[in-house]
Amino acid sequence: MSIFDTIIIAIIEGLTEFLPISSTGHMIIASSFMGIAKDDFTKLFEVAIQLGAIMSVVVIYWKKFFPLNRWNFYIKLIIAVIPALILGFIFSKKIDALLESPLTVSITLLLGGFVLLFIDKLFKTPAVEKDEQISLSKAFMIGVWQCLAMIPGTSRSAASIIGGMQQKLNRNLAAEFSFFLAVPTMAAATGYKLLKAYKENPELLKNKDNLIALGIGNLIAFVVAIIAIKFFIGYLQKHGFRLFGWYRIIAGIILLVLIYTGQLK
């Protein structure tokens, strides 16, 4: 990966990680256009820079994460992340294979877009307004919904927000809980990917250029994600999800055209 590749993919990660449009899907498409999608370090990089993005959540919502005596809050996050940890471990090889498929991304972008067009109408009567009201069973079910994001292009943010709204959370709280859940989920995914890389291909993490790329990528993802989160929450309060639904549909159609005309493989 060049420095240019590093910067572009990190910006994409920061912009899209917490929006319901799929950060993984966008990074796969970008790396495919750059011709580096199948590179082992690219695959590692696209996961590892999520660490920078999740740190933005901790900084923005530091009062939620600190002090550390809010045990009920942490227990809910632990309960919610369990489904992803189990299924992610079981299907890790199949997930890695899907990460090379722009076609999968285009289809899931398209289908998810139609869902977002109608989600505000589907869940009109939220009953949960504060995170203290989220029960352990609701947290677990949101975690189950999050597992849909193992299919590239689905969007972890979209899946967990939809799950939250299905569990009667209002859309702002559903979005915030999705952000909170991102911290243990992506920390675990990043840690697992780095450990796996160290065992299977340690040279990836011993290469000086790769380490510099990871440092730059995480820093950029962190800064851009802070901006993206603040924009998303402000926009969501006023307008809902329809814009993101239309974006996904248009992006999915464009990608299908590019794939079937041979311009994207």
CA distances from 230 to 26, 91, 224, 242 (A): 20, 33, 10, 18
Q: For 125-136, how does the pLDDT look when each residue is reduced to its tens digit (9 = 90+)? A: 889 998 889 999
Radius of gyration of the chain (CA): 18
Q: How far is Cα of residue 192 from the mean position of the Cα atoms in its chain?
A: 16
Determine the 3-state secondary structure of 66 from DSSP: coil
Closest CA to 198 of 44, 92, 94: 44
Average pLDDT in the chain: 90
What pLDDT is recorded for position 265?
Answer: 67
What is the identity of the amino acid at 48?
A
Residue listed under structure tokens 């967990």: 160
Would the pTM of this model clear 0.85, i.e. be above it? yes
Classify the phi-psi angles of 170: left when phi > 0, otherwise alpha if psi is within -120 to 50, otherwise beta: beta
What pLDDT is recorded for position 15?
Answer: 94
Tell me the pLDDT band of 58, cut-offs 50, 70 and 90.
Answer: very high
Which tokens belong to 65?
A: 């994460």
What pLDDT is recorded for position 88?
Answer: 82
Query: How many residues are listed for the chain in this entry?
Result: 265
Backbone angles phi, psi at 8, to 5 degrees: -65, -45
Alpha helices by DSSP H, the chain: 3-16, 23-34, 40-48, 50-60, 62-65, 71-90, 92-98, 102-122, 136-146, 156-166, 171-200, 203-206, 208-239, 242-260
Domain-wise residue ranges, the chain? 3-260
Percentage of the chain surpassing pLDDT 90?
A: 59
Q: For 35-55, how does the pLDDT look when each residue is reduced to its tens digit (9 = 90+)? A: 888 888 998 999 899 999 999
What pLDDT is recorded for position 263?
Answer: 79
Within 13 Å of residue 245, how many CA atoms lie on the same side as its CB? 14
